[in-house]
Amino acid sequence: TCSLLRSPKGFPKLKNDTFLRAARGEETEHTPVWCMRQAGRYLPEFLETRASQDFFATCRSPKLCCELTLQPLRRFPLDAAIIFSDILVVPQALGMEVVMVPGKGPTFTEPLKEVEDLLKLRQKVDVTAELGYVFQAITLTRHSLEGKVPLIGFSGAPWTLMSYMIEGGGSTTMAKAKSWLYRHPEASHQLLRLLADVIIDYLVGQVAAGAQALQLFESHAGHLGPELFQDFALPYIRDIAQAVKSKLKQEALPLVPMIIFAKDAHYALRDLAHAGYEVIGLDWTIRPQEARAQIGEDITLQGNLDPCALYAPKEKIGELVKKMLESFGTQRYIANLGHGLYPDMNPEHVGAFVEAVHAHSRHINKH
């Protein structure tokens, strides 16, 4: 249970380090597995816990975040937990208001429209003051996990956050945000730099609070082509890895593995392989062998079952997992979906996915 904070240090000893070993490229007995959005609406207990609370109020409650993070681990033998939070807490820390609109999703009450709107953003963010609730949730969850599995912290990447801040919510074209890149490149870089600086402090703070790995979500990479990605996304993705690592060293904090997940960015896999991350997450639209050929042997891959495969009958899920493991190989590999779980998925099918990864990878490793 998520009882209130004990001392931030003195964390319980880790019992299952398979995920961390795979991330670092060490040998594992089975392929570790976790799911993006594993703490989520597909679980009845999640809906029950969330019922009375506004979404972002939930994000600001360390006890509720802890409870929601632990729920999937009570059901499934997952190899990692990921803290329950949202990427849009970073724009909130910059002073923007975001509300969760039922049926529509996250919505900014006043998106950025003109370059002048950048002046409304906080130019210096004290992450402990603005995002300390996430740090508390991580510390509390790390204790409450009792060393069962490692805890992953995360952030959205600058371009993805920028696109939300300008679009004011989700968008199929990202036309407003992309028009900034073409019309106001300097202001775009100014905003991306501001975001990157906050993200760096935020990720370092998560490690100080107890996160044992970090994932950076560039969820809207697919809206950029190779040129725009090269100019407006990649430099910041690189910079975040470098700066986080050097700050962790300076502060004598553990150098945790970092994962980059740039959805639909096949065109950038070679560049991402040199961006300073131990793990590259893949979406479901690329063949594992092709990704491995572009990324090389010394980076761990994570992914990439089509989330909709979980609608298949359980036996079929097992077959798809076996095929996926044969394509990736069982080493230097973390099994996951190619994006997050959907709210109408059957928890039993999620369990079948997790168990199939363990069973088939053990079998392949033995033979």
**Count of beta carbons in the 10 Å neighbourhood of residue 107:** 17
Residue reference for tokens 């040199």: 274
At 7 the pLDDT is 52
Q: Judge whether residue 9 has pLDDT over 80.
A: no
d(CA 172, CA 31): 35
- Please give the Cα distance from 228 to 167 (Å, whole number): 17
The pLDDT score that the predictor gives to residue 83 is 98
pLDDT digits (tens, 9 = 90+) for 72-83: 999 999 999 999
What average pLDDT score do residues 99-115 get? 95
Query: Is residue 134 within 8 Å of residue 82, measured between CB atoms?
Result: no
Report the pLDDT value the prediction gives residue 150, as an integer from 0 to 100.
98
326: pLDDT confidence band, cut at 50, 70 and 90? very high
Q: Which residue has the tokens 């976790």?
A: 34
Mean pLDDT of 167-187: 97
Backbone angles phi, psi at 297, to 5 degrees: -90, -15
Q: Mean pLDDT across the stretch 59-68? A: 98
Residue 362 above 70 pLDDT? Answer: yes
For residue 91, give Cα distances in angstroms to 88, 157, 190, 199, 359.
6, 11, 15, 10, 41
Q: What is the pLDDT of residue 176?
A: 98
All structural domains of the chain: 17-366 (3.20.20.210)
209, 227, 304 from 75: Cα distances, Å? 26, 44, 22
Residue ranges of alpha helices (H) inside the chain are 18-24, 44-50, 55-59, 62-75, 89-93, 127-144, 158-167, 175-183, 185-209, 226-232, 234-250, 269-273, 288-295, 314-328, 347-366
Give me the pLDDT at residue 1, please.
76
Give percent of the chain above pLDDT 90: 96
Q: pTM of the predicted model, to two decimals?
A: 0.98
pLDDT at 103: 86
Name which of 3-17, 51-65, 186-200, 327-341 the model is least confident about: 3-17
127, burial (CB in 10 Å: exposed 0-12, middle 13-18, buried 19+): buried
Task: Say which amino acid occupies 194.
Answer: L
Question: What confidence score (pLDDT) does residue 6 get?
Answer: 54
Q: Under 8 Å CB-to-CB from 136, ≥6 apart: which residues?
A: 5, 62, 209
pLDDT digits (tens, 9 = 90+) for 234-281: 999 999 999 999 999 999 999 999 999 999 999 999 999 999 999 999
Confidence band of 102 (pLDDT split at 50, 70, 90): confident
Identify the pLDDT of residue 2.
78
Helix 314-328 / helix 288-295 crossing angle, nearest 10 deg: 30
Q: What tokens does 31 get? A: 């392929």
Say whether pLDDT at 5 is over 90.
no
CB 275 within 8 A of CB 237: yes
Average pLDDT along the chain: 97
Let me know if 361 is exposed, middle or buried by CB neighbors in 10 A (0-12, 13-18, 19+). Answer: buried
Averaged pLDDT for residues 338-359: 98
CB atoms within 10 A of CB 33: 29
Q: Tokens 């009792």 identify what position?
A: 146
pLDDT in tens, 138-161: 999 999 999 999 999 999 999 999
The reported pLDDT for the residue numbered 8 is: 56
- Catalytic residue numbers read 37, 41, 50, 86, 164
Amino acid sitting at position 260 = I
DSSP string, 263-329: TT-GGGHHHHHTSS-SEEE--TTS-HHHHHHHH-SSSEEEEEE-GGGGGS-HHHHHHHHHHHHHHH-
**Given pLDDT bands bounded at 50, 70 and 90, which one contains residue 130?**
very high
Nearest to 70 by CA among 155, 140, 154: 140
Q: What is the mean pLDDT of residues 287-291?
A: 98
